[in-house]
Amino acid sequence: MGTPDFAVPSLMTLCRSRHNVQLVVTRPDRPKGRGCKVAYSPVKEKALALGVPLWQPKRVTKEEAVSAVEGVRPDLLVVVAFGQILRKPLLEWPRLGAINVHGSLLPKYRGAAPIQWALINGEKETGVTTIIMDQGVDTGDMLFKAATPISVDETAQSLHGRLAAMGADLLLHTLDKIAVGGIKAIPQDNKIATFAPMLSKKDGEIDWRDSAAAVVNRIRAMNPWPGTYTFYGSERLAIHTARVASQTTGEPPGMVIPAFDGELHVSTGNGVLAILKLQRSSGKRLKTAEFLRGCPISPGTVFGRDKADG
């Protein structure tokens, strides 16, 4: 059971293994883009290519879900980024229950966006965890973990790809261990649990009162979606990459400060941010020097929503 790109390596790994994938469950097809062309989920595309039976329920309700699972009589459910909460009758039908692959080192970052929130919070390490599913959101007992460092230039896109591959390997290791028995599940410590809620487009707006380091972390976390942005007058500017230029500034947050030609430095709540790539709402993504040749931005300009609204 899975839907987005994150689940595809796990499906591929299972289909290449000695384990038998009898059914793939994913979301229904959805219209996409301006033309509203019907789009398959990444998991459906891969399942069709692999020739695995497919089921696409609108909601995994008690009756239809148990009926569908009963028809293939699985030993185990494997769930990777499926996007729906599974209820007790479905979780308990398979002989061995249900296993989930989650993109964090639980109990940290339970929820829909663990990769992004690890980056937003400046974590130095993250990983993947396999758990025995219960009716909570990523609250089940833990089976295995695999950790990886987060590099200073890591984005959500690059980390997503690495964790998806790690999750597939850890899943196979988990199933192989289940097949021979003797795994000891470890309950999660709810006292140290943190939550990683789903992101929206508004989460991409830069708050210049944050530190320069925090703004850089948000830019990395929102790459590629929903992207980070600020306002220049009434115009929305997308900020694609940036770095911390210095640790001190005496100017108010959001103010453009003097810098060398071809550079764009902005004061923050703590430190100065150097913007490296940005984009106008109707333009192309450009390096800062190229952008400034076509759209000069003078020191003293203040970025942010207050300026746009004012």
Place of tokens 């380091």: 213
pLDDT in tens, 20-32: 999 999 999 988 8
Residue type, 140: G
| Per-chain mean pLDDT for the chain | 93
pLDDT in tens, 110-164: 999 999 999 999 999 999 999 999 999 999 999 999 999 999 999 999 999 999 9
Query: Residues of CATH 3.10.25.10 domain(s) within the chain?
Result: 201-309
In order of 55, 67, 89, 99, 225, the CA distances from 62 in angstroms are: 15, 8, 7, 18, 33
Q: What's the CATH number for 201-309?
A: 3.10.25.10
Place of tokens 């989920």: 41
* 80 DSSP 8-state letter: B
Fold of the domain built from segment(s) 5-192: Rossmann fold (3.40.50)
pLDDT of residue 62: 63
Name the token pair of 189: 């410590």
Query: What is the C-alpha separation between 140 and 38, in angstroms, rounded?
Result: 35
H/E segment holding residue 78: strand 77-79
For 154-195, the DSSP string reads --HHHHHHHHHHHHHHHHHHHHHHHHH-----B---GGG--B
The mean pLDDT of 240-268, rounded to a whole number, is: 94
Q: Does residue 33 surpass a pLDDT of 80?
A: no
Question: Is-contact 148 126, C-beta < 8 A?
Answer: yes
Threshold 0.85, pTM exceeds: yes
pLDDT in tens, 190-243: 999 999 999 999 999 999 999 999 999 999 999 999 999 999 999 999 999 999
Query: Residues of CATH 3.40.50.170 domain(s) within the chain?
Result: 5-192
